[in-house]
Chains A and B, each alone.
Chain A
Amino acid sequence: MSKEAILGGIRRGLRRGALPDDQTMGLHARLASHPRHLIPARSQVPRPEQVALFTRNLTKEFATWVRVPHTGEVPGAISDYVAAQNLPSDIVMAPHPELRDIPWDERPMLRLHEGRASADDLVSVQHGWAAIAETGTLMLPATPERPTTLNLLCDTEIVVLKVSRIVGAYEEGWDLLRQENHDDVSGGFMPRNVMFITGPSRSADIESTLELGAHGPRRLHVVLIDDDQTAL
C-alpha cells in the first residue's frame, strides 16, 4: 500500500525505523504545547497603538474603515458607506446574534436578509471574529453564524468588528481560537475553515500590474466599534 511505501521510504532515508516511544512522546508534547517562535516587535505595543497599526495596515492594503463609538451607530455608518459608494441597499448579513442585536430599524432604507451569499448578492455584512494588527488582517472562522461565502461572492464585503477583538500577532488569534472555539466533530478547536483576509481581492497576473477585484470582493470595508476603553 502507498502509505507504508511512503513512510518506509522516509525511514530508509532517515536510516532508522519507526520512532521509539520516548521520542514520539517528545514530539506529541511539542504538538500539544505548540511553542511560539519569534513574534515581530511591531505589534507588541500599547492598545491604542495596536489599533492604529491595524487601521494603518487596512489602508495600506486598500481596505477602508470607519470607527464608531457604539453599536447603535453601525447602521448609520453602513448606510452612509453604501450611499457614498452608490451600492444597492439590499444586503446579505451573517446570522450572528451580535449582528442581530444591532438596531437596524433605525435605518429602514437598509434591506437586510440573513444567510449565506448567493450569486446575486452584491453587498455582504460579515461578523468580525478577530483581527490581527501586525498586517491589518481579519480572522474569520467559519461557523453557522459566519458563512464563508459572505467573504467571497459579493462585490463589497462590510465587516463589523469590535475593537476589543483586535490582537497584535497571529499567534494571539490562534490562542483566542483555542480558548473560545469547540468543534463537535473533531473534539478539537478548529472549525471547517479559518480565513485570514488582508484587503480586497486582487491580481497582478496581467503584465505584473496590480488590479483590485479579481475573483473576490472589489471592496472591503471595516466598521470598528469602540468597545475597548484601553484602546482609546
Chain B
Amino acid sequence: MLSTSPSFKENATQAMADPSLQKALARTRPQNPAKRLTAVAALPEFEQLRDIGRDIKNHTLAHLDFYLEAWESKVLASGGHVHWASTAEDARDAVLKICRAAGARTVTKGKSMVSEELAINEHLEKHGIVPIETDLGEYILQIRKEAPSHIIGPAFHLNREDWEESFRKVHTHLPADRVFAERADIQNEARVLLRDKFLAADVGITGANFLIAETGSSVIVTNEGNGDLTQTLPRVHIVLATIEKVVPTLEDATSLLRLLARSATGQDFSVYTTFSTGGRRPGDLDGPEEYHVVIVDNGRSAMIGTEFQDMLRCIRCAACMNHCPVYQTVGGHAYGWVYPGPMGSVLTPSLIGVDKAGHLPNASTFCGKCESVCPVKIPLPSMMRHWREREFERHLSPSSTRTNLALWAWLARHPQLYRIGTRIAAKGLAMLAGKKGRLSKLPFAGGWTAGRDLPAPEGDTFFARYARQQRAKS
C-alpha cells in the first residue's frame, strides 16, 4: 500500500472538514469505549489478565526463534506447508506461486491487515488472479477502491447512503429500483452475492490472530463467519501471518483471547474463533486439501532488541484508536498507511521509516489513554516519544521546531531566567486577555488559536505560589 503519511497534516485538515467522516466519527466515538467498559466491568479479573497477556507476549518474544521453529515443525507434522518471507516481495511471490500451482482464477479473502501491508490484492490482480474481499467492510472498500480506516471496523467511516450508492453502482444485475429499507437489506445483498464467490473460489486467504507452537495451529476470530467460509470451502487455504503472532500453547492463546474481543468490540468472545491445523484429514467431508502458512518478517525482527520491541506484543484489538482523541478527530485515513491510531504511530515509522512517518508520533496529546486500555500494556506514549527523539537526532524536524526547542532547552537550564520569563509571560497574557480571561489570538500561535481560545493565566506562576506557601508554613 502506498503511503500518504508524509502529508499527515494536510490529511488531518481535510478530514476535519469532511462532513461525512465527521458524521461517522460522531456516531462511533462514544460507542466503542462504552462497550469495552461494560465487558471489562463484567470480568473482575480483567486487570490481572492484562498483566498475564503482557507476560505471555514478552516470554514469547524473548524466545521467538525457538517458538517459530517449534511451531513450524508442528505445521509440517500435520501435513501443512510453511513459506518463510523476509520481505513483502518474498511474501507476495510465495502467495502467487501457491495460487498459480493451484490453477487459481479467483481467491476469496478473510480480513487481514498484513495482506494490506503486503499489497497482496494488487499483486494478484497484476497476474490475472481475481481477489475477492469477503469481510463486509472490506468488500465495500474493495468496490470503492478505498483503504481500511480502522483495523477492525475498516469501513466505519462510511454512512448508509455510501453503501447504497456503491451497491447500486456495482450490482447492476439487480433491479435498479430495489429498496434498501433497513441496514439488513444491504447486508443481505452482500451475503447472497458473496455466497457464490465463496463456493467458486479456488484459494482462500486469511490472516491469523495467533499461531500456536504447541500444535502448529493458526487462529482467526471473526463475527461474520466469512473467514471460516474462506478457509473451509476452497481447495487451498493460505494463512498470512507475521512472526510475532506465535504464542507457545493453547492456554497462552486462550488467555489472550479473553482480552481480545473485550478490548476490541466489547464482546465476551467473538462469534467464530477457529483453530486450523493442517489440511483435510482422511475421511473428512470438507475443509481445504492444502494448508499453507506464509510467515512474514517485513521489518519485525529489526524491532527486537530496540526500544520498540514491546510494540510486537500488539494483538490488533484497536482499543488504542477507539480511545484516542486524535484518531477520534481525524479518522484512520489521515494516518496515511495501513495501521492508524496510536499503534500505527509507533509501528508505521518502524516499518516504512521515520523519515516518511515522522508526523505520526507527533500526532499525540500524550494523554496516555491508549496505554491505559491496551490489553497487553504496550507503553505507546513512551515509544512515540522515542520516535520524536530519533526524528530530532536525525535532523528530520523543521528548523523552526528545532530553533524553538533549543531556545526552550536553554531557558529550562537557567531556572532564574525561566522564572522571570514565565512571570512576565503570565502577567502579559493576563493583561492581553483583559476581562474576558481568554485569548482568541496569540502571536506565533495562530494555528493553535484558530480552533480554540487560550484561557489566560490567573494570578502568579506555580513557583511564586509554591514559595509563598512554604513561607507561610514556616
Chain A positions within 8 Å of B, measured between CB atoms, are: 1-3, 5-7, 9-15, 18-19, 24, 27-28, 30-31, 34-38, 40-42, 57, 60-61, 95, 115-116, 119, 134-137, 142-144, 147-149, 151-153, 170-171, 174, 183-209, 211, 213-217
Contact = CB atoms under 8 A, between A and B. Distances in A.
29 contacts: A2-B297, A5-B86, A6-B295, A7-B68, A10-B68, A24-B66, A27-B67, A115-B285, A136-B268, A149-B285, A171-B254, A174-B254, A185-B77, A185-B282, A186-B278, A188-B74, A190-B215, A195-B228, A201-B225, A204-B223, A204-B265, A205-B137, A205-B155, A206-B163, A206-B183, A207-B160, A208-B28, A208-B156, A217-B225
Contacts of A147: 284-286
**Secondary structure call for the A interface:** loop
B277 to A, nearest CB: 4
B3 interface: no
A202 B224 contact: yes
Contact of B70 (A31, A61, A170, A185): A31
Contacts of A193: 232, 274-277, 287
B27 A207 contact: yes
Interface of B: 24, 27-28, 31, 43-45, 48-49, 52, 56, 62-70, 74, 77-79, 84-86, 90, 134-137, 140, 153-156, 158-160, 163, 183-184, 186-188, 191, 194-195, 198-199, 213-217, 223-226, 228-229, 232-233, 243, 248-252, 254-255, 257-258, 265, 267-287, 295, 297, 301-306, 309
B277 A27 contact: no
B52 A38 contact: yes
B334 to A, nearest CB: 19
Contacts, number: 283
Pick the most buried of B155, B160, B215, B279: most chain A CB atoms within 10 A of its CB: B215
Contact of A209 (B44, B183, B225, B295): B183
A7 B69 contact: yes
A173 B188 CA distance: 34
Nearest to B282: A184
B441 to A, nearest CB: 38
A121 to B, nearest CB: 12
B68 A186 contact: no
B46 to A, nearest CB: 9
Contacts of B153: 204-205, 208
Given A2-B86, A152-B232, A214-B226, A192 B272 contact: no
B282 A201 contact: no
Given A144-B285, A213-B187, A19 B255 contact: no
A148 B232 contact: yes
Contact of A216 (B56, B156, B228): B228
B134 A196 contact: no
B235 to A, nearest CB: 14
Contacts of A208: 27-28, 31, 153, 156
A198 to B, nearest CB: 5
Given A10-B65, A116-B285, A199 B271 contact: yes
A191 B216 CA distance: 11
Nearest to A32: B214
Contacts of B48: 38
A83 B180 CA distance: 29
Given A31-B70, A191-B281, A198-B270, A205 B135 contact: yes
Given A174-B251, A184-B282, 16 more contacts: A6-B301, A9-B301, A10-B64, A13-B302, A13-B303, A13-B305, A14-B65, A31-B70, A152-B225, A190-B216, A192-B277, A194-B275, A195-B272, A197-B271, A200-B271, A208-B156
Contacts of A209: 183
Contact of A192 (B85, B278, B301): B278
B401 to A, nearest CB: 31
Nearest to B59: A30
A64 to B, nearest CB: 15
A126 to B, nearest CB: 13
A13 B27 CA distance: 43
A13 B309 contact: yes
B217 A190 contact: yes
A116 B254 contact: no
Contacts of B279: 192
A206 B271 contact: no
A111 B183 CA distance: 34
A216 B224 contact: yes
A167 to B, nearest CB: 13
Contact of A215 (B63, B216, B224, B250): B224
B375 to A, nearest CB: 14
Given A7-B68, A196-B272, A31 B286 contact: no
Contacts of A115: 285
A201 B224 contact: yes
A204 B66 CA distance: 39
A14 B228 contact: no
A186 B65 contact: no
B309 to A, nearest CB: 7
Given A37-B252, A151-B228, A190-B215, A216 B64 contact: no
Given A9-B302, A34-B249, A215-B191, A142 B284 contact: yes
Contacts of B188: 213
Given A6-B297, A148-B286, A194 B274 contact: yes
